[in-house]
Amino acid sequence: MSNSFAELRALLKELIDEDMKLRSNFEFSVENKNLIKDLNFKKKIQMGLSILKNKGLVNNQIEDTIKKNLDLLS
């Protein structure tokens, strides 16, 4: 799973670096739609983790790490 995210990150970085209009829109959206400020953010992350775990895409160690980091956002 982490390789896929690394590839996605590289692709997004390349696209955003090359297209200033896209970069500007991306930065604007990030600033105005801050997911961490969403009152249901933790609940959505936990629901997503449950789905990934049920599909066998996340193990207990990854789940625990994400939950621990999620608690730091409070």
Domain boundaries, the chain: 1-33, 35-74
Q: C-alpha distances in angstroms, 49 versus 19, 28, 34, 52, 72?
A: 33, 28, 20, 5, 17
For the record, the structure tokens of 21 come out as 């209009």
Q: What is the pLDDT along the chain (74 residues), one digit of tens a residue?
A: 567 777 878 888 888 888 888 888 878 887 787 777 788 888 888 899 899 889 888 888 888 888 888 888 76
pLDDT of residue 2: 65
Three-state DSSP class for 61?
helix
pTM reported for the whole predicted model? 0.53
